[in-house]
Structure 1
Amino acid sequence: MNNKSNITRNKKKIYHNRITHYEKFQTKLQIQSDRISSVRAIVFLFVGLSYFGLRNSPSLLIAYGVPALFGFFFLAMVRVYGKQALLITKLNALIAINQEGLLRLENKWSEFSFTGEEFLDEASPHLSDLHIFGKNSLFQMLHACASQKGTEQLKNWLSECSDFSIIPRRQEAVKEMAQYISFRQHLLMEGRLIGKHLDPQQFLSWIKSPSFLLNKKWLVVLRRSMLSITALLIVLSLLTEMSPYWMIGILIQAIIFFLTLGKCRTSYMPALSRESHFKAYGRMFELLERFKFKSSYLANLHKKLETDGLTVSRQMKRLEGINHALCQCYSSIYPLLNILFLWDIHYLYQLELWKEEMSSSIEVFFNVLGKMEALSSLSGFAYDNPGYVYPLIREKASPLSAENLGHPLIPYSERVCNNFRISEEGFLALITGSNMSGKSTFLRSIGINTVLAFSGAPVAASEFIVRPCKIMTCIQVTDSLRLHTSHFYAEVKEIKKILDAIYPDGSTDEHCPILYLIDEIFSGTNTKERLIASRNIAIQFTKSRSYGLLTTHDLDLVSLEDESSLIKNFNFMDGIDGNGKMVFDYKIKDGPVTTTNALKVLELAGIKVRG
């Protein structure tokens, strides 16, 4: 425990030091920014004073040159001030990210707003039973994604593993990225700068939206022709005595501008409204590209961030340039630019060409970004818990073997760890124990650590070996007035789902072994029928390749160990201290429980029962 406390103190010190560093830098920048703001105001004043004071000067150079010089200086100050403001905003975000790191170490992560509750699925009750998603969940603790793609990827990895062979490679990626705290925090910071959850789907939908000019290329040809003809007429009128026919060209261009104005603006305004998103994505991609990774998983992802010899960030900068040009629609010279150069047609065409070029590859880039963010979330968890072990996923080993296994959502100071082993296929651990002794928490410890193992993250244990399997649970069963479902019938439905997964289509073997975790089986019905049903279900479980744990208060079920070598009894016990209070050690032991405490619980609650 002392070792864990020392590790936690060291991690807290690191986060505190980073916060202090960023706060000092922020204070320094804020002072500089205030000075720049003051200088900017003075320079602006000099622009006005020099203009009105020197406008009657006989020298045009002095009359207009001095105000122009002050004007350029003012614009430079505006630019510098903008950069300073952006840097201060980034520092604020980095301070907040490190404060979140402290909250995780202090077990206050339940204050985080993103719980993943929307990912709970009635078809997958283990996501709720094991607290994978929802309030006070594993997802809430792990989540450190700025984009929706990253969030969805993390959700997918925690929901179900579809490819067990990739887990070792993902573990290597998590190990490597755990070391890069600055990289992880800057990736999250860049995504958070726009102040809301980035949703790439909107970006992808925009890219795949219909184009206007790509289907009317004659307009592009007409623009080029008109500009060439008008320019030629202007040159000829300047060099010869030709009449100013170029004015006709300008008139025709003005007509084209006004006829296409509505359609052009409708086509490019969605891009302008997402300009902050483009910049955020561009910065995130640029950060990913600059970093050189060693693990094969990360290196392969990194290679995908390039198309046609250009990196994604270069492509995003190209988009930013087009967008910046189209932003002239907000300026006073907008009509002039379009009449003289048919500005909208040119840059809208460039925008649509960009969309066409990127439409086939942009989704790949965002999938890479999503995976990087999800890996960053798992890596942050690994960084905060260096004492956790990376599990071994083995086809040939015992189905499950764990040493010093604890629940990762329980604070270390309150956590009790256990050793446990499922030795063979068909194994059923029948766990008896008194109320509040830790049976349900132990089931959840097995389940949530297995979920972590299959995601590629380290687990709360000193050793964890598990076979590829599917997790199914029946722990937190509730009745439903809406569906007219009793507690018992809800239980029956969940047990039936597990049996159907174990024996699909009525076959005698399953495609993938099931790790089942069942708490207080059939507690919603009478004792006599519960015993009959429980015995039959337990025997059915042992005749399959699947394995799991089943808890019960029915001590008559412990005799199942004598009927099958695949069923073994375990227990959690309670005791009474010197003050007559119940105490629990939360340690799993071999054999059936020998004590009960229901009457004692009633007594402690102030309910007198005659026995």
Structure 2
Amino acid sequence: MEIYTKRYHLFQIQYSAIRKKYKLVGIARLVVFFAIIYCFYLALSNANANYLYVTLAVIVLFLSLLKLHANYSWRMRYIQALLDINKKEMAFVENDERPFDSGDEFKTTDHPYAFDLDIFGSKSLFQFLNRTASFIGKQKLADLLKSKLSSDEIVMNQEAIKELSQKVEWRQEINAYSQISNLDETAYKRLQKWSQSNVVGLSKVSVYLSYVVPCLLLLSIIGYYLIDSYVFGYAVSLLFSLNLICTLSKARYIQAELGGADKVHETINSYSSIIKRIERETFSTEKMKGYISKLNADSFQASKELKVLSRLFEQLETVGNIFVLIVFNGFIQYHVHIFNRFSKWKKEKAHLVPTAIEVIGQVEALNSLANYSYNNRSYTFPTISENGEMSFKDLGHPLINESKRVCNDIDFSNQRFVILTGSNMSGKSTFLRTVGVNLVLAAIGAPICASNASVFPLPLFVSMRLTDSLEDSESYFYAEVKRLKMIIEQVQKEPCFVLLDEILRGTNSDDKQSGTIGVIHKLIREQTYGVIATHDLEVCNTTAEYPEVLINKCFEVEIKQDDLHFDYKIRDGVCQNKNATFIMKKMNIID
């Protein structure tokens, strides 16, 4: 897509310009540093106070350059993140690459469909969709792909995804902020734990002493200079020590709040920056407006309040600085006052931290789906049906490249259960995954790979890829029977959509045939929708018993010029052609 190429070249120009400024300021900063040393040397060698004033002025200039240099450094990181974002999108769109996190940690064989449909892992649906950068964003996207939403929630997600898909610049800004902030699992769990921990406030006596003792110290210092009495001198020493004792007695509470982590304020400041960017954007959909309302609940503006918390954490972290600890606390009990403000903030507003983190995660997950929608503008948002209608026109697998993808029509509105036959390699399993993956996308409000669709939201259950377990002493057959039992029990509780691929492979042909027919009978007694793929043509006779529920569909193969030809187009009826013997002869396995 041209937009990614244009933005990539634009950010290259911006990065080069800022890098030049960054280098110039770095050189200027070095020159000014040596100027400070030289001016101070002149002040000492000439015993001239004027040089000291010049030195102070140059120090102010140095500090300004230091701040400017840091700003340019941050800007370079930010633009580099935007460069990476657009470079990856170019590789994704133009070269069909997947340079994104695969969500391997979310793989599980226990989920009703995630393992069978390759929802997580290398070349998975998660990797195809994922544009999150924070731990919580990745977690929210994974949770979304494993969940079942209500019809209203699906419609709300659809509206939000449509709106966000047009906000390319804003989506990339959120992603870039998140990338450079390093909002990892450790930071997330630490802040979650902190927000839920008890608030340790200061006693009234401690607060009283934090004001009284520094005031008495100030009066003693004034008295010492005005009267020059040793009594005031002793008083100054005593009160200075008392200030330190009062502060050190609270040190363990301060350290408990810091939790042994360094630079907590930077993480919170990053959350604040992302939240501020969310708050400033204008949204028209109910979903996104709801997030803004959450962030501004109780008359708090989350971004500003988190900024305050970030500063309080930063000030508390100076307790580890020996100079600040002794001087500042010796005179004014600095950390006692900061801790008192910190405790009050935590008591009143600690709930803002998990709320803000949750919103960031949910927005990142929706941004991933919006990016997917933007990249695939020919895809359709299915109509959400409430009366059992389910049909797809030009349905294809979104992870298969468009140049290789074959699309098919399928309708479950009349006959709600399909018996699918076809020879080896004809496309049965791919079609099952195509239906399954698109149902997963439809169930979270995302567009699906079809030109038109109507979906009746149902829990999805799949039995396609089971494994035997040596660890649990469990055979493949037993693992499959357990999965089928779980599916049968579920469809007896509520209507479901079921995808089964060549079940009962771990038993003999007679058992397999009778068992498969038994499973079909059990499923169609309930309000079950779905597809079962089988090589056993006898199973197809079941449709004659239940023509109002069951329908036969097939994939065919043709032998042309001593070679197999697959068109991967679904047809009505039962498969007539076979290819296993032909392939084995072709490969000289049999005569």
Tell me how far apart the structure 2 counterparts of residues 123 and 351 of structure 1 sit (CA, whole Å): 44
Show the counterpart of 2:213. 226
In structure 2, the CA distance between the partners of 1:448 and 1:219, relative to structure 1 (3 Å rule), is: same
Show the counterpart of 1:441. 430
Encode CA deviations 1:180-218: one digit per residue, 9 max, x unaligned.
111111111111113463552321212233444x15443
Show the counterpart of 2:558. 575
Q: Is the 8 A contact 1:472 1:514 kept in 2?
A: yes
Q: Is the 8 A contact 1:120 1:134 kept in 2?
A: yes
Mean CA deviation greater in 276-285 or 173-182: 276-285
- TM-superposed CA distance for 1:374, in Å, is 1.0
Is 1:286 matched with 2:269? no
SS state of the match for residue 64, structure 2? helix
In structure 2, the CA distance between the partners of 1:106 and 1:279, relative to structure 1 (3 Å rule), is: same
SS state of the match for residue 415, structure 1? coil
Matched letter for residue 555 of structure 2: F
Q: Is the 8 A contact 2:258 2:264 kept in 1?
A: no
Tell me how far apart the structure 2 counterparts of residues 568 and 449 of structure 1 sit (CA, whole Å): 21
Show the counterpart of 1:370. 361
Tell me how far apart the structure 1 counterparts of residues 524 and 183 of structure 2 sit (CA, whole Å): 50
Match among 140, 143, 158 for residue 171 of structure 1? 158
- TM-superposed CA distance for 1:241, in Å, is 7.0
Is 1:499 matched with 2:488? yes
Show the counterpart of 2:192. 204
In structure 2, the CA distance between the partners of 1:51 and 1:519, relative to structure 1 (3 Å rule), is: same
Q: Is the 8 A contact 1:109 1:141 kept in 2?
A: no
- TM-superposed CA distance for 1:236, in Å, is 4.8
Encode CA deviations 1:74-120: one digit per residue, 9 max, x unaligned.
111111111001100111111111122123214644442x2222223
- TM-superposed CA distance for 1:15, in Å, is 0.7
Matched letter for residue 382 of structure 2: P
Is 1:541 matched with 2:528? no
Q: Is the 8 A contact 1:264 1:345 kept in 2?
A: no
Tell me how far apart the structure 1 counterparts of residues 541 and 298 of structure 2 sit (CA, whole Å): 69
Tell me how far apart the structure 2 counterparts of residues 203 and 43 of structure 1 sit (CA, whole Å): 40
Mean CA deviation greater in 13-22 or 214-223: 214-223
Encode CA deviations 1:264-284: one digit per residue, 9 max, x unaligned.
445436464422211211111
SS state of the match for residue 275, structure 2? helix
Alignment of 1:24-35 (within 5 A): 24-35=13-24
Q: Is the 8 A contact 2:91 2:97 kept in 1?
A: yes
Match among 265, 276, 292 for residue 302 of structure 1? 292
In structure 2, the CA distance between the partners of 1:275 and 1:241, relative to structure 1 (3 Å rule), is: closer
- TM-superposed CA distance for 1:577, in Å, is 2.7
Tell me how far apart the structure 1 counterparts of residues 192 and 183 of structure 2 sit (CA, whole Å): 18
Alignment of 1:559-598 (within 5 A): 559-565=541-547, 566-578=549-561, 580-598=562-580
- TM-superposed CA distance for 1:235, in Å, is 4.2
SS state of the match for residue 393, structure 2? strand
Tell me how far apart the structure 2 counterparts of residues 125 and 467 of structure 1 sit (CA, whole Å): 18
Encode CA deviations 1:220-251: one digit per residue, 9 max, x unaligned.
22212212222333445556677523443223
In structure 2, the CA distance between the partners of 1:228 and 1:162, relative to structure 1 (3 Å rule), is: same
Show the counterpart of 2:114. 127
Match among 323, 348, 351 for residue 357 of structure 1? 348
In structure 2, the CA distance between the partners of 1:491 and 1:208, relative to structure 1 (3 Å rule), is: closer
Is 1:394 matched with 2:385? yes
Matched letter for residue 273 of structure 2: R
In structure 2, the CA distance between the partners of 1:397 and 1:531, relative to structure 1 (3 Å rule), is: closer
Encode CA deviations 1:377-429: one digit per residue, 9 max, x unaligned.
1101001101100011111142x2000000011111110000000124x7321
Q: Is the 8 A contact 2:273 2:303 kept in 1?
A: yes
- Give ranges in structure 1 of 5+ residues lacking alignment: 1-10, 504-509
- TM-superposed CA distance for 1:263, in Å, is 4.9
Tell me how far apart the structure 1 counterparts of residues 99 and 43 of structure 2 sit (CA, whole Å): 62
Show the counterpart of 1:4. none
- TM-superposed CA distance for 1:335, in Å, is 1.4
Show the counterpart of 1:86. 74
Matched letter for residue 218 of structure 1: V
| TM-score for both structures, normalised by structure 1 | 0.91
- Give ranges in structure 2 of 5+ residues lacking alignment: none
Q: Is the 8 A contact 1:208 1:355 kept in 2?
A: no
Matched letter for residue 70 of structure 2: G
Alignment of 1:508-523 (within 5 A): 510-511=493-494, 513-523=495-505
Q: Is the 8 A contact 1:56 1:63 kept in 2?
A: no
| TM-score for both structures, normalised by structure 2 | 0.94
- TM-superposed CA distance for 1:49, in Å, is 1.1
- TM-superposed CA distance for 1:314, in Å, is 0.5
Tell me how far apart the structure 2 counterparts of residues 339 and 241 of structure 1 sit (CA, whole Å): 21
Matched letter for residue 151 of structure 1: K
Q: Is the 8 A contact 1:107 1:411 kept in 2?
A: no
Matched letter for residue 274 of structure 2: M
Show the counterpart of 1:321. 311
Q: Is the 8 A contact 2:468 2:474 kept in 1?
A: yes
Encode CA deviations 1:305-330: one digit per residue, 9 max, x unaligned.
12443311101111122233234343
Matched letter for residue 433 of structure 2: R
Match among 450, 467, 473 for residue 478 of structure 1? 467
CA RMSD of aligned residues (A): 2.1
Encode CA deviations 1:54-91: one digit per residue, 9 max, x unaligned.
3344642x120111111111111111111001100111
In structure 2, the CA distance between the partners of 1:261 and 1:196, relative to structure 1 (3 Å rule), is: closer
Identity %: 28
- TM-superposed CA distance for 1:156, in Å, is 1.9
- TM-superposed CA distance for 1:588, in Å, is 0.3
Show the counterpart of 1:528. 510
Mean CA deviation greater in 598-607 or 587-596: 598-607
Q: Is the 8 A contact 2:380 2:451 kept in 1?
A: yes
Matched letter for residue 22 of structure 1: F
In structure 2, the CA distance between the partners of 1:396 and 1:363, relative to structure 1 (3 Å rule), is: same
- TM-superposed CA distance for 1:164, in Å, is 2.4
Matched letter for residue 469 of structure 2: S
In structure 2, the CA distance between the partners of 1:540 and 1:220, relative to structure 1 (3 Å rule), is: same
SS state of the match for residue 129, structure 1? coil
Tell me how far apart the structure 2 counterparts of residues 228 and 265 of structure 1 sit (CA, whole Å): 27
Tell me how far apart the structure 2 counterparts of residues 161 and 384 of structure 1 sit (CA, whole Å): 24
Match among 17, 22, 38 for residue 49 of structure 1? 38
